[in-house]
Amino acid sequence: MKRSRIALLATSTLAISLGLATAGYAGIEIYQMNSNLGIEYLPRLDLTAQSKSLMPLSRPNVGDVIGSLSIPRIKKVIPIIEGTNAQELKKGVGHYIGSVLPGISDNSVLAGHRDSVFKNLGNVKLGDLLTVSTDYGTFVYKVKKIRIVEADDKTVIVPTDGAVLTLSTCYPFGYIGNAPKRYIVQADLLESEAIQSNLVDV
């Protein structure tokens, strides 16, 4: 009788242990599933406080769509294409490959045609917000400067201390032929929500 009680106790203890182990494993499995549900579960960081060495995991190839540019003032959401050759500019606004990608600390330069994607860029005002959405984050800029420069003015693409978005198009807007000037809109990074898993510190 005593042996039966001992055997029963041992069996109960083993069952409880197995139950706890199963529950623990299930908990780990559920946690892993939740961690892989989507980008909303990934850690995020503010790029405005990061160094210039923080970059997306890979540099896009020429012709790749790297994100979109939203300009509420003119009710436009425009694809951003890597490169500024004629082929890229037919598809959207082109990212100048000599500049950093949007959201990174420095001057990110985007160019577009005045008779298509940037047709109404002249309506943008100081203080307007511009939003760039990419697979490594979303970045909101505030327009701080609007100017007109000569076509060969290289100050448009010079490096900057902070994260700046520069939009460039030919000017005057209604000019027939090769326009002699460039219309420049520059905006400072105001807010950022970056996806850390898609960035690397180089």
Q: Is residue 170 among the annotated active site residues?
A: yes
The reply to whether omega before 172 is within 30° of 0 (cis) is yes
Catalytic-role residue among 140, 170, 189, 195: 170
Catalytic-role residue among 44, 73, 91, 113: 113
d(CA 104, CA 166): 13
| 55-102 pLDDT, tens digit each | 676 789 999 999 999 999 999 999 999 999 999 999 999 999 999 999
The reply to whether omega before 60 is within 30° of 0 (cis) is no
| 9-47 pLDDT, tens digit each | 444 443 434 343 443 433 333 323 232 222 222 233 333
| Domain 45-201, CATH | 2.40.260.10
What are the extents of the domains in the chain? 2-37, 45-201
pTM beyond 0.75: the answer is no
Q: Is residue 197 among the annotated active site residues?
A: no
